[in-house]
A and B are shown apart, each in its own frame.
Chain A
Amino acid sequence: GAVVSQHPSRVICKSGTSVKIECRSLDFQATTMFWYRQFPKQSLMLMATSNEGSKATYEQGVEKDKFLINHASLTLSTLTVTSAHPEDSSFYICSAPTGLGYGYTFGSGTRLTVV
């Protein structure tokens, strides 16, 4: 089945530094990738939608300059948290559609801790 590989699974960084999270579709081409943020015991909050070869679409209230999304190829989408601060600490998940009406395949998530 379709697999999305997400790395790193955990990262701790110092305040003010940047962190890059990668999501790769391993056995299918992901023209679209959704990026979410999730707080403990809460639902997924959609941050942005990346499309291969075009600019990402950000949800209202998400800072484009802080959360840089790049969809460089049909198998790779990245989220870079720039100038991270403790309030950016969270669980970040990516997902890609696996065919019309067949739902999404999710990455395994990245737990970001900013100290």
Chain B
Amino acid sequence: AQTVTQSQPEMSVQEAETVTLSCTYDTSESNYYLFWYKQPPSRQMILVIRQEAYKQQNATENRFSVNFQKAAKSFSLKISDSQLGDTAMYFCAFMKPYTNAGKSTFGDGTTLTVKP
């Protein structure tokens, strides 16, 4: 079974600065998908960014980018120019396509606080 580890339960960053959230995973598969989801205080889960394992290029979405290191099984999220609205719990998730009924494995989450 796949496991996803987020080793930073809580982090904080000053507004406008950059922060990196860590995620490692364990799998023997070569083809899979990785995601970062955001859960703000409203508790609505939102997809932030996705990465296909067979693509070497790191995904980016505006201020959000990932550092995907397949050999190291690492998938960190970088948030640039942090904004107060980025305050949320962030979950890293792994999904193996065509297996396990489409289930994703979620990490335990990192609570990020952006300070003014």
Contacts and interface: CB of A to CB of B under 8 A. Distances in A.
Interface of A: 32, 34, 38, 41-44, 46, 49, 57, 91, 93, 95, 97, 100-106, 108-109
Which of A43, A93, A102 has the most C-beta atoms of chain B within 10 angstroms of its own C-beta?
A43
14 contacts: A34-B103, A42-B109, A43-B109, A49-B101, A93-B45, A100-B97, A103-B33, A103-B35, A103-B95, A104-B47, A106-B37, A106-B44, A106-B46, A108-B43
Interface of B: 33, 35, 37, 42-47, 50, 52, 89, 91, 93, 95, 97-98, 101-104, 106-109, 111
Given A100-B97, A106-B45, A32 B50 contact: no
Contact of B43 (A32, A46, A103, A109): A109
Contacts of B108: 42-43
A97 B37 CA distance: 14
B101 A32 contact: yes
A101 B97 contact: yes
Contacts, number: 55
B109 A91 contact: no
A108 B33 contact: no
Given A32-B101, A49-B101, A44 B44 contact: no
B115 to A, nearest CB: 19
Nearest to B49: A103
Nearest to B53: A101
Contacts of B33: 101, 103
The 6 A-B pairs at the shortest CB distance, nearest first, are namely: A106-B45, A101-B33, A103-B47, A43-B108, A103-B35, A108-B44
Contacts of A93: 43, 45
A44 B50 contact: no
A56 to B, nearest CB: 11
Given A41-B111, A43-B91, A43-B109, A104 B44 contact: no
A45 B21 CA distance: 21
B50 A102 contact: yes
A70 B24 CA distance: 35
